Amino acid sequence: MTVEPRSDAFVAFEHVQKSYDGISLVVKDLNLAIGKGEFLTMLGPSGSGKTTCLMMLAGFETATHGEIRLDGRPINQVPPHKRGIGMVFQNYALFPHMTVGENLSFPLEVRGMQKPERETKVKRALDMVQMGAFINRRPAQLSGGQQQRIALARALVFDPKLVLMDEPLGALDKQLREHMQFEIKHLHESLGITVVYVTHDQGEALTMSDRVAVFNDGKIQQLAPPADLYERPENSFVAQFIGENNKLQGTVEEMGANKCIVRLDSGELIDATPVNVTGKGAKTLVSIRPERVEFKPEMMPPGAHTIDAEVMEFIYMGDLFRTRLKVAGSEEFVIKSRNTAGQRMLKPGEKIKIGWAPQDARALDPM
């Protein structure tokens, strides 16, 4: 799915294609418009072309076809050092032979800035990431999280309008990562910069971004705010990739405007919202989030189709109950229920009926 680039976009990819070997396309017809001050995340499995897109934007790879514009200006021919884009690398790429202060003053020096001005800027950038005390250390004398902050400060010290980050938190442990996510988000908001962020981690993408571009196979599968992405995936790839998801294979039996009825391969009928199906008789994959499945009849919308299920496993997770069911021949169907007062704990072997509101089941393209 693509969004037509807006003419006022701060960063615009227009019909960008990229091939490294002349045989296969790594990026296929990319159209993407990023607004000023936006935090856009590129999310996708390994090898889907995220880094390649970032490198084309930074100027380290050339687009095989198409145009990339920055602030309305085509930048295909502009060398990387004239683009004025800040960049944070996965391994930080702090210069090992320079101190933290020298690392930060490097971009200012190459811009010909005078020493007093440099010093104030370096100090300000270090204070911004709470690393003022480390100005004379070498990168090797810093912990991973500290190096990360310095890399961030270095990418911001010369006041770039656009900052690119390629899996900047990939090497950190979970706790530090969550803390840094918060800090990056905070910096983004306080500085008003535009950020293009690349990650593998969907949690990271969902918590930090204004919009997420889900990449697969060199194409943007969906470009949407995090909530839309989770609740209204537009195709099976996105539904599978983001969050936990139950899938049921079937054929469209009846097609309405907002509702369709799908006959599963095992014969049962279920309700769904047509999203990505052509019409009656089309093969489809219905996707339902585990927390939207109901097993108590009083909670289901009137007239909803229900199907039989058998409890295979019940897992007590504290705030949640996670129950694995056998549904339509598959044992991988999962439901999640909140641990509210009076919530039922299902027992393995129990036979129940499950159902859902049609808008919670999305009939998508078959995989």
Partner 1 sequence: MTDTTSGLTTSDGRPLKAALLAAQSKARRRAFLLVAPLLLFVILTFILPIAYMLQRSFENDGFSDSAPQLAAWFAEHPDGSEITEGAYAALVADLATMQANKTPGQAGTRINYTVPGTISLFKAAARKAEDLTPPYKEALIALDADWAAPKLWAAMRSASTSYSADFYRVAIDQKRGEAGDWARGAERERIYIYLFVKTFILSAIITLSCLLLAFPIAHLLATLPMAKSSLLMILVLLPFWTSLLVRTTSWIVLLQQQGVVNNILVALGLIGDDGRLVMINNQTGTIVAMTHVLLPFMVLPLYSVMKTIPPSYARAARSLGATSWTTFRRVYLPQTLPGIAAGSLLVFILAVGYYITPALVGGADGQLISNMISFHMNKSNWSLAAALAAILLVAILILYWLYDRLVGIDRLKFG
Give, as one character, the DSSP assignment of residue 156: H
Q: Which amino acid is at 46?
A: S
Helix (H) or strand (E) holding 206: helix 202-208
Q: Which does 106 bind (CB under 5 to 8 A by kind): Mg ion, ligand ATP, partner 1, none?
A: partner 1
The reply on whether position 95 binds partner 1 by CB under 8 A is yes
β-sheet bridge partners, residue 354: 307
Q: What sign does the CA torsion over 111, 37, 144, 119 have? A: positive
The reply on whether position 107 binds ligand ATP by CB under 6 A is no
The label of the residue with tokens 């129950």 reads: 323
Nearer to ligand ATP, 44 or 274 (CB): 44
Q: Which does 283 bind (CB under 5 to 8 A by kind): ligand ATP, Mg ion, partner 1, none?
A: none
Judged by CB under 6 A, the chain residues 25 through 84 that form the site for ligand ATP are: 26, 44, 46-52
CB of 163 to ligand ATP, least distance (A): 17
The reply on whether position 182 binds ligand ATP by CB under 6 A is no
> CA geometry: angle at 240 spanning 237 and 244, to 5°?
165
The burial of 164, by beta-carbon neighbours within 10 Å (0-12 exposed, 13-18 middle, 19 or more buried), is given as buried
**Dist. CA 203–CA 181, nearest whole Å:** 10
Residue among 235, 231, 240, 247 at smallest CA distance from 332: 247
**Are 281 and 252 in contact, with CB atoms under 8 Å apart?**
yes
The reply on whether position 188 binds ligand ATP by CB under 6 A is no
The reply on whether position 273 binds Mg ion by CB under 5 A is no
Nearer to partner 1, 165 or 223 (CB): 165
> CA geometry: angle at 353 spanning 336 and 335, to 5°?
10
CB of 200 to Mg ion, least distance (A): 8
Strand, coil or helix: what is 345?
A: coil
The reply on whether position 93 binds partner 1 by CB under 8 A is yes
The reply on whether position 84 binds partner 1 by CB under 8 A is yes
The reply on whether position 314 binds partner 1 by CB under 8 A is no
The reply on whether position 110 binds partner 1 by CB under 8 A is yes
Among 41, 51, 199, 306, binds Mg ion (CB under 5 A): 51
Q: Which does 44 bind (CB under 5 to 8 A by kind): Mg ion, partner 1, ligand ATP, none?
A: ligand ATP
Per CB under 5 A, residues contacting Mg ion are: 51
Q: Which residues bind partner 1 (CB under 8 A)?
A: 58-60, 79-87, 89-91, 93-97, 106-107, 110-111, 154-155, 158, 164
